[in-house]
Amino acid sequence: MVNLSIDMNDYTKPSSLFGQRFFISIIVAILVIATLPFRDVNAQATTYPEYVVVPGDTLSWIALRFDSTLDELLAVNGLDENSMLRPGDRLKIPSLAGMQGILTTEYVQLGSSLTSLSRRSQAEPADLIRANNLTSPSELFIGREIVLTQIENSPIMTTMNSLRQGQSFLEASILAGQNTWSLAKTNRLENPLLGLPMDTYYMPSEVESPSNLAIPGVKEIVVDNLPLIQGDTFLIEVTSEEPVTVRASLAGVEPVFIEMDEGLQMGYGGINALTEVGVYPLTMEFTNSEGDTYRFDQYVMISSGNYVSDKPLQVDPASVGTEAEQAENVKFKEIVAPVTPVQQWSGLWYSPAQDADCIISSFGSRRTYNDDPRLYYHTGLDLGYCKGVDVYAPAGGTVVGIFPDQVVRGNAIVIDHGLGVYTIYMHLASILIEEGAKVEPGQLIGIIGTTGRSTGPHLHFEVDILGTPVNPLTWLRRAFP
C-alpha cells in the first residue's frame, strides 16, 4: 500500500523555496475566489401564468378577475394605464406568481373533482386550489366557472376506459397501449397498484375528451346550457359504447332520456322560474345490460334569472283564482305531459312574431292581479305587433291542441316538438291551423289578438319542457341539438 500522506511542514518552512511558492499560491487563489461575484445556484426567475385577452376585456376587469391590483398587473407586464389591449395579447398574472402555463376557463361538468381536473390539465392540485380560491371540494359544483392552466405543447388528454371490478391498472394501461409507470405518473399515482375501479384516469391522445366521470361503457356525459338559471332549459347528453339505462333528477325535475343515435341519449329538463337560488344535487344513475348500477351525486348551482316585478294588473276577476282557471291549468298541464320520442325540430328556432324585438313583457317577471296578494310569474314571452299581426310556427312539430275561448289563454294553440318540448300560443284573434297538422318552421298558424286574460293585443309565446315553462328567448337565441 502506498502512503500518500504529506508532511506540510516540509513545504512551508521559510528555508524551502518550494514551500514558499506553494504557500503564496494558496493565498492568491483564496483572494481570487473571494473577488468572484456570488451566485445562488438555486435562484430562479419568477414565473407567471398568462391570460389570453378576449374581446371586451379591460385591464381593470382582468386584475379584478384574478384578485390582483391594477398597479401590480401593469408593473409585471411593463404597461401603463394608457396601454391598449388587443384580443390575443397575453398578460402575466401577478397574483398567481410561481405558476406557469396558459390560463383557460370552463364550467364544471358532472364528475369533475380536484383530482380529475389535476390529472386532465396536468396542473398541481395546489395550483388549482389557489387559482380558484377553493376552500372545500364541495365548491366544485356543476356550472361553476373554474380556471385551469395548460402548459403549451403539452399532450392532449383523453379519458381512459374505467377499470372494471378485478381489473388492474397494469392491465388497463396495456390494453390502452400505454407505459404503465408513465401513465401512473400522469395520473398522479405513486404506484400503479393504487389504481381503483370507478376512478377517472387520463392518457395522451390526439383528441381531447371532456368527460370527467368513469363509468364502464359510458364515453361522455355533458350537461348543456350551463350555468343553470331559474326558469331556463337544461339538457343532459350521454354517449355510451354499450346499452345503458339512464336516470337523472335535479331540483324536482326528472328528464326522460331518449335514444337519438346509436350510443347517444338526450334528456331535456326545465328549471322552474320560482326555484330558490342555491346549490342542488344532481343525481344520476346508470344501469348496464348486466344489471350493474352506478350512481353519482354532484351539486349544481342554480343562479338568479334577475326577473323584475310588473306593475299590478287589472283583469277580468273570472280569470284569477277561480275554479275555471284551475280547471284550465290542469287541462294544459296534461296536454304537455307526454314525451314523444321523435325530435321534430332542427337548428335555431324562428321568431313566432313578425318582429322578434317587439317585446312587451319578458319571461319570468313577477306579477299580481286585481290586488290579489298571491304571486304569479309570467310563463312566456309577450310579443307585440310592431310589424304585423301574423303568428308563425318557430320550428317543426305537430299541433296537439286547438283551444278556443279559454278563460285565461283565450284562443290558444299547442304544438308538440318532441322530446318533451312544447310551445303554446295564447290570446289569438284567430286560429289558422287544425289539430293533428304537421307544421314547418315559419308556417302561418294564427293572428295576434287580445282574447282571454289580456290587457291588450299581443302574442303570449310559451315554451314548456316536461310541463315546466322555460324562457323562450333561450330557444330563439341558441340552437339545441
Any idea which residue has 381593470 for its cell?
60
> What region, left, alpha or beta, does residue 452 occupy, with left being phi > 0 and alpha being psi -120 to 50 degrees?
left
Q: 2 to each of 5, 7, 8, how far by Cα in Å?
A: 9, 15, 18
Q: What b/e readout covers 381-418, taking b as 16+ CB neighbours within 10 angstroms?
A: bbbbbeeebbbbbbbbbbbbbbbeebbbbbbbbbbbbb
Which one, of 252, 258, 257, lies nearest residue 271 by Cα? 252
Lookup: cell for 304: 338568479
The distance in angstroms from the start CA to the end CA of the chain is 87
Instruction: Evaluate whether 430 touches 447 at the Cβ level (below 8 Å).
Output: yes
Q: Give the pLDDT of the chain (481 residues) as one tens digit per residue.
A: 444 443 444 434 444 555 566 556 666 556 555 555 544 444 467 899 999 999 999 999 999 999 999 999 999 999 998 889 999 999 999 999 999 899 988 888 877 888 888 888 888 889 999 999 998 877 888 888 899 988 877 788 888 877 877 889 999 899 889 999 999 998 999 998 888 887 888 888 877 665 556 677 788 888 999 889 999 999 999 998 889 999 999 999 999 999 998 889 999 999 999 999 999 999 999 998 888 888 888 889 999 999 998 888 888 888 888 899 999 999 999 999 999 999 999 999 999 999 999 999 999 999 888 877 778 899 999 999 999 999 999 999 999 999 999 999 999 999 999 999 999 999 999 999 999 999 999 999 999 999 999 989 999 999 999 999 999 999 999 999 9
From the CB of residue 112, how many other CB atoms can be counted at a distance below 10 Å? 23
Helix axes 125-132, 114-121, angle to 10 degrees: 110
Domain spans of the chain, in order of start: 50-107+115-136+145-160, 175-303, 317-477
Tell me what pLDDT residue 31 has: 58
Tell me what pLDDT residue 219 has: 81
**Fold (CATH) for 317-477:** Glucose Permease (Domain IIA) (2.70.70)
Q: For residue 270, what are the β-bridge partners? A: 233
From the CB of residue 30, how many other CB atoms can be counted at a distance below 10 Å? 9
Tell me what pLDDT residue 10 has: 44
CATH 3.40.50.300 matches 175-303: no
**Is the pTM here over 0.95, yes or no?**
no
Helix, strand or coil, per DSSP, at residue 281: strand
Provide the 8-state DSSP code for 274.
T
CA distance 403 to 414: 8
Tell me what pLDDT residue 210 has: 53
- CB neighbour list of residue 455: distance below 8 Å, 6 or more residues apart: 313, 314, 315
Q: For residue 413, what are the β-bridge partners? A: 402, 425
